[in-house]
Structure 1
Amino acid sequence: MAKIKPFRCIRPNVDVVSRVAALPYDVYNREEAKAEVEKEPLSFLKIDRAETQFDDSVDTYDAKVYEKARETIEAMIEDKTFVADEDACYYLYELIMNGRSQTGIVACASIDDYMNNVIKKHENTREDKEIDRINHVDICNAQTGPIFLAYRATKQLNEVVDKVKQETPLYAFTSTDEITHNVWKVVAGEDNNVIEKSFADMNQIYIADGHHRCASAVKVGLKRRSENPNYTGEEEFNSFLSVLFPDEQLMIMDYNRAVKDLNGHSKEEFLKAVENKFTLTIIEDGAYAPEKKSTFGMYLDKQWYKLEAKEDLKAITDPVEGLDVSILQDYLLNPVLGIEDPRMDKRIEFIGGIRGLEELERRVNSDMEVAFAMYPTSIAELFAVADANRVMPPKSTWFEPKLRSGIFLHSLD
C-alpha cells in the first residue's frame, strides 16, 4: 500500500518559470553551473548549487553555501518569483522530447514506504553524495528537486491524467534544449481521490532516478522525527517530493562505456580474447547501434564491430547477471580488459546515450582505446532487479528527458 499524498506547492510565477527551471544539480560541474547562473540569473541552479554565488575559494560544501541557498529561496518568495499555493493538491508534469510524451503525477511519497521497501531501489548510494543533499534539504527546509519514481500503469490513473490534460495548463514552455514542459494543477476533488486510492492499491513503486536525493530526503525526515519525538506522521518532513510516471511511457537510453587501453593486449590478442564469449562481426558501413538484447557495438581502431553474446550467456536468467551491462562487465571488461571494479577504476568512463555514437568515436579517436555501445536496459529489467531486492551494476540506466528542478518545491513545515 503506497501513500502518495497531495502537497502545498511552492512554485515559480508563471511569467518566469521557463527562466527558473533548471536541469538537476548533478548534471553540472562547478564551472558549468556557474556559467549557467551567469547566463540566466534566475536559474534554480543558484539555489541547487549555491556555491555559484561565491568565488572559487569557497568550498562547495561549506556551511555558508547551504545558508545562501536558504536565503535565496526566502528572497525569491519575498519578491514573488515563487508563489505558495494554499491548498494541497497533485500536479501533472508532462515532458515532450522528439515528439515522445511522458506525463507524471507530482506528489509527496512516504519515507516509511521507502524504509519498508514499498518504494523499491535498484542502486546503492554513497554516503558522501548523500551528505551534500542532506545539508541542502535540512538547511533550506525544503525539497527542491523531485525524485523520479515509476509505477505499473493502471487504467484509472491513465483516465484521470488524460482528463486533466484537457484543461488549460498552468505552465507551458519549451526549454533551450527543445524539451517541452507542461504542468497542470489537479483541482477536482474526485480526481485527487482517484489518484490517492490508486496508489494505495499498489504494493510497489520504483525509484527510476534519484537514489541519492531520495535517501537524503528520507534521512532528513528521520532526523526531524528524532528532533520531534511527538510527531504524528502527518508532518511534511515525513514525505518527499516526487514525480511518478507510468512504466509504459518511460524510455531508458543506452549508457555506453569507453576504456583507455587494451590491458596490455595487442589489437589481435584482444579480438581473439573477445571471441571466447562473443561472436564478432565487422561492420562495413558506419556505426553500429545494438538492435536487441545481448548484442553490443564496439569501436576500435576506427572500425565498428557487432558483438553478440554466445548462447551460454544468453541463457542466464538471473535478473542482475543477465543484464547486458553485467554480461559485458563479467565476460569482457573484467577478464579481458582488467576492469574489476568499474566504480573505482579510472581506466573506464561512462557516456550517456544522449551523446550519440559519434561521441564514442570521438573519444576513441582522441583519448580512449575502445568503446562499447549498449542496448538499453528495459524498465521491465529495472523492475525485476528491484523486485528481487538486488542492485544493478553502476551506470546501467540513462533516463531522458531529465526532470527540471525549481518548478516544484516542497516545504518541510
Structure 2
Amino acid sequence: MAKIIPFKAVRPSRDKVGLVATRPFQDYSVEEVTFQLEHNPFSFLHIINPGYKFQKEITGSERFQLVKNRYLEFKEEGVFIQDESPAYYIYKTISRNQTYCGIIAATCADDYENDVIRKHEDTISHREQLFKDYLKTVGFNTEPVLLTYPDSEVINRITSEVMAERAEYEFTSLNRDTHYLWVVNDPERTSKIKAEFEKMEAVYIADGHHRSASSWLLAKESREKNPNHTGEEPYNYFLSYMIAESNLQLYEFNRLITDLNGLSKKEFLMQLDEWFRIENRGTELYKPSKKHHFSMYLDGEFYSLYLRKTNYEFTGPLSELDPYILFIRILKPLLGIEDLKNDRRISYLPGRNESFEVKKAVDEGLYAVGFGMLPLTVDEIKKIADQGLTMPPKSTCIEPKLRSGLTVYEF
C-alpha cells in the first residue's frame, strides 16, 4: 500500500513563477548560470548558489546554511508563499516532441525502506549522507523524486476533470516548453487520489534513487531524536512527482570508449566475432531495431552487432538487459572497463542525441569507439526492481526532467 498524500506546498506567486522556476542545475552551462544570476533576481538559482551574493565560492555546511538564508529571503519578500490547505499538484509540460502530466505529492519515506517504493539502482553511501545533511540544514526539498505507477482510470479521470479548469500556473520557458500547474485541494478529489494510490502494491523509482535514500535517512534520524514521534511529521515524507507508466519516456545511454585497450581494429573485430554476428553498415547513420542488437561506430564506419544467442545463456531479467550484455561481453572482457561509474575511459551520451553525436565524438578523435542500443522498457525496469536486482550504471535516461523551485516541500 503506497502512502502518497497531499501537502501544503511553498510555491512562487503566480506573477513570478516563470522567473523563479529553473531547469535542473546540472543542465546549465557556467555562462548560463552567470547570466541568470546577473539578470534575474527571482531565479531559484540564487537560492542554490548563495555565494553569488558575496562573490565567493562557498561549499559544505557553510553553503547549506546560506541556501536556507536565501530561501527564507524569498519567503520574506513574498516571492514564495505557502498554501493554506494540503493539496495535490497536477503538473503538465508540453514540448515540441512530448507531453508529460503527473501529480506532485508527498511520499512516505517508510515505503522506501519497506520496498513499497522499489529501486533498480545502487546508491553511494557518502552521497546519501551528504544530501541528508543538506536536507536537514535547509529544511526543504524542491527536487521531486520521479516515481512511476500503473495507469489508473480513477486518477486519469480526476486529472482530466481538473485540467478542464483554469490552471494556477501557465508559462513558457526559454526552451519553448509550456508548463501548467493545477492545485487540487478539495477533500473529495484528494481523498479519491489518496485512496487510489493506497491500492497500489508498489510504485517504482524512475529517477532519484539518492534523493529517496537520503530522505529515508533524514526520517530515520529525526524520529530517533523525537520522543513524541507520531509518524505524521513532515520529515516522514519527501517530495515526489507521480507519473503513470504509459507517460514515462525512456532513452538509452550510448557508450563512448577512449581506446581499444591495446587491441588493433582487426584484433578487436575478431574477438567480437565470438559473441556477435558483425555486419559493416558503412558511413550511414545506423541504430539497432531489436533487443540484443547493438550499433558500433569504429574508424569512420558503423557496424551492427547481433548477439549470438546460441553462445549466450539467459539466466534471469538482469542477463536479458542490453546494457548488461554490452558490459559483460564487450566492455569488461575486451576493453578492460571494470568500473562503469568511475573509469575515465568511458563516457555516456543520452540516446535522444541520436547516432550522429556518437559519430561526431569518435570522428573528432575524442573516443576510439561508440556503442548504441535500444532503450529499456518500463517492464524491464520493474522486473529488476521486483527481484531486488540492480542495473548497470547509466542503463536508462528517463524523462521528464522537472523544474526546480516550482513546488517546495518543507520539513
Provide the TM-score with structure 1 as the length reference.
0.94
Deviation track 1:356-411 (CA, whole Å, cap 9, x = no partner) reads 32221221122110011121111111111111111111001101231111101011
- Distance (whole Å) between structure 2 residues aligned to residue 214 and residue 37 of structure 1: 29
- Distance (whole Å) between structure 2 residues aligned to residue 31 and residue 218 of structure 1: 35
Deviation at 1:50, TM superposition (A): 3.7
Deviation track 1:141-178 (CA, whole Å, cap 9, x = no partner) reads 11121110001111111111111111111111222223
1:9 maps to: 9
- Distance (whole Å) between structure 2 residues aligned to residue 332 and residue 165 of structure 1: 48
- Distance (whole Å) between structure 2 residues aligned to residue 129 and residue 26 of structure 1: 16
Deviation track 1:256-307 (CA, whole Å, cap 9, x = no partner) reads 1100000111111111111211121222352112222111111111111111
- Distance (whole Å) between structure 1 residues aligned to residue 290 and residue 40 of structure 2: 42
- Distance (whole Å) between structure 2 residues aligned to residue 202 and residue 404 of structure 1: 27
Q: Which residue of 341, 355, 358 maps to 2:356?
A: 358
- Distance (whole Å) between structure 2 residues aligned to residue 46 and residue 356 of structure 1: 34
- Distance (whole Å) between structure 2 residues aligned to residue 39 and residue 377 of structure 1: 41
Matches within 5 A, 1:1-400: 1-27=1-27, 33-34=33-34, 36-38=36-38, 40-53=40-53, 55=55, 58-61=57-60, 63-284=61-282, 286-312=284-310, 316=314, 318-366=316-364, 367-400=366-399
Pair 313,69 (structure 1): closer, same or farther in 2 beyond 3 Å:
farther
Matched pairs, number: 410
Pair 38,133 (structure 1): closer, same or farther in 2 beyond 3 Å:
farther
Deviation at 1:119, TM superposition (A): 0.5
Deviation at 1:49, TM superposition (A): 4.3
Stretch of structure 1 that moved more, 319-328 or 357-366: 357-366
> Does the 8 A contact of 1:25 with 1:49 survive in 2?
no
Q: Could you say what the CA RMSD is over the residues aligned between the two structures, in angstroms?
A: 1.9
* One-letter amino acid of the counterpart of residue 304, structure 1: F
Deviation at 1:53, TM superposition (A): 4.7
Deviation at 1:4, TM superposition (A): 0.5
- Distance (whole Å) between structure 2 residues aligned to residue 313 and residue 233 of structure 1: 53
* One-letter amino acid of the counterpart of residue 255, structure 1: F
Long gaps (5+) in structure 2: none
Pair 173,269 (structure 1): closer, same or farther in 2 beyond 3 Å:
same
> Does the 8 A contact of 2:146 with 2:206 survive in 1?
yes
Stretch of structure 1 that moved more, 141-150 or 120-129: 120-129
> Does the 8 A contact of 1:143 with 1:217 survive in 2?
no
Deviation track 1:173-201 (CA, whole Å, cap 9, x = no partner) reads 22222322211111332211111000111
What secondary structure sits across from 1:380 in the alignment?
helix
Pair 374,19 (structure 1): closer, same or farther in 2 beyond 3 Å:
farther
- Distance (whole Å) between structure 2 residues aligned to residue 224 and residue 36 of structure 1: 36
Deviation at 1:45, TM superposition (A): 2.5
Deviation at 1:52, TM superposition (A): 4.9
Provide the TM-score with structure 2 as the length reference.
0.94
What secondary structure sits across from 1:105 in the alignment?
strand
- Distance (whole Å) between structure 2 residues aligned to residue 79 and residue 393 of structure 1: 45
What secondary structure sits across from 2:174 in the alignment?
coil
What secondary structure sits across from 1:311 in the alignment?
coil
Pair 400,40 (structure 1): closer, same or farther in 2 beyond 3 Å:
farther
* One-letter amino acid of the counterpart of residue 385, structure 2: A
- Distance (whole Å) between structure 1 residues aligned to residue 100 and residue 40 of structure 2: 27
* One-letter amino acid of the counterpart of residue 393, structure 1: P
What secondary structure sits across from 2:326 in the alignment?
helix
Pair 214,27 (structure 1): closer, same or farther in 2 beyond 3 Å:
farther
- Distance (whole Å) between structure 1 residues aligned to residue 30 and residue 297 of structure 2: 31
> Does the 8 A contact of 2:86 with 2:185 survive in 1?
no
Pair 215,349 (structure 1): closer, same or farther in 2 beyond 3 Å:
same
> Does the 8 A contact of 2:283 with 2:300 survive in 1?
no
Pair 292,318 (structure 1): closer, same or farther in 2 beyond 3 Å:
same
Stretch of structure 1 that moved more, 349-358 or 306-315: 306-315
Pair 169,301 (structure 1): closer, same or farther in 2 beyond 3 Å:
same
Pair 48,343 (structure 1): closer, same or farther in 2 beyond 3 Å:
same
Stretch of structure 1 that moved more, 213-222 or 108-117: 213-222
Pair 122,37 (structure 1): closer, same or farther in 2 beyond 3 Å:
farther
Pair 179,197 (structure 1): closer, same or farther in 2 beyond 3 Å:
same
Pair 314,401 (structure 1): closer, same or farther in 2 beyond 3 Å:
farther
Deviation at 1:51, TM superposition (A): 4.7
What secondary structure sits across from 2:288 in the alignment?
coil
Deviation track 1:332-364 (CA, whole Å, cap 9, x = no partner) reads 111111111212211111112233322212211
- Distance (whole Å) between structure 1 residues aligned to residue 53 and residue 340 of structure 2: 34
> Does the 8 A contact of 1:33 with 1:49 survive in 2?
no
